[in-house]
Amino acid sequence: MSFHQNCPKKVINKAQQGDKFALTQIYDLYKGPIFHLAFQMLRDEHRANDVLQTVMLKVINSIKDLSNIKTFNGWIKRITYNTVIDIIRANKKLVDISHESEFEYSEDDILGSLNSPSWDLEQFLSILNERERLVVWLYAVEGLSHSEVAETIAISEQNSRIIFSRAMKSLKSLAQDPRYSGQQVGEPHE
């Protein structure tokens, strides 16, 4: 599900004036992408629904302040990210970890693994804890740098690299396990 919805400018303008039908149209267009992103990051249907409700309330309460309608899709996506991050922070899942000096991954190695046909990224992400899933999602899927990830979720850049490295190690070991890789037991691993 993508946030690149084709929401007519007329609907956005009416929603900014408080038109309830226009707000309902926006809800119908964006409920799928909002829920999907929240679920991908939280892996909890109930909390993803909470995010959906919270995001839509924020949209309803602040749409009149949106000055550039062209940024509407990105604006809703940013509200969704920030809401998910607020929920994770509220649950104190983002605890700073100890410093490590080595990161055992290369960018090419990561992209090769993520694009491998034997990887079911959605399945593997569900295995990670919230903090790891959030860092992997923001860095590998959304394309943020480690400094941007760190700023977004209020951790150090080094911490973002360490979390990502540990998550990738876990995912790589799972990808080699026939139970998770889609291979049949006894089939040679490429």
| pLDDT tops 80 at residue 151 | yes
Residue 59 or residue 124, greater confidence: 59
Task: Write the CATH number of the domain with boundaries 107-181.
Answer: 1.10.10.10
Q: Express as a percent the part of the chain with pLDDT over 70.
A: 73
> Does the domain at residues 9-90 carry the CATH identifier 1.20.120.160?
no
Distance CA 66, CA 110 (A): 37
Instruction: Count other C-beta atoms under 10 Å from residue 59's C-beta.
Output: 21
Q: Express as a percent the part of the chain with pLDDT over 90.
A: 35
Residue 44: is it exposed, middle or buried by C-beta count within 10 angstroms (0-12/13-18/19+)?
middle
Distance CA 66, CA 85 (A): 22
Mean pLDDT across the stretch 129-148? 86
Where along the chain do its domains lie?
Answer: 9-90, 107-181
Distance CA 99, CA 101 (A): 7
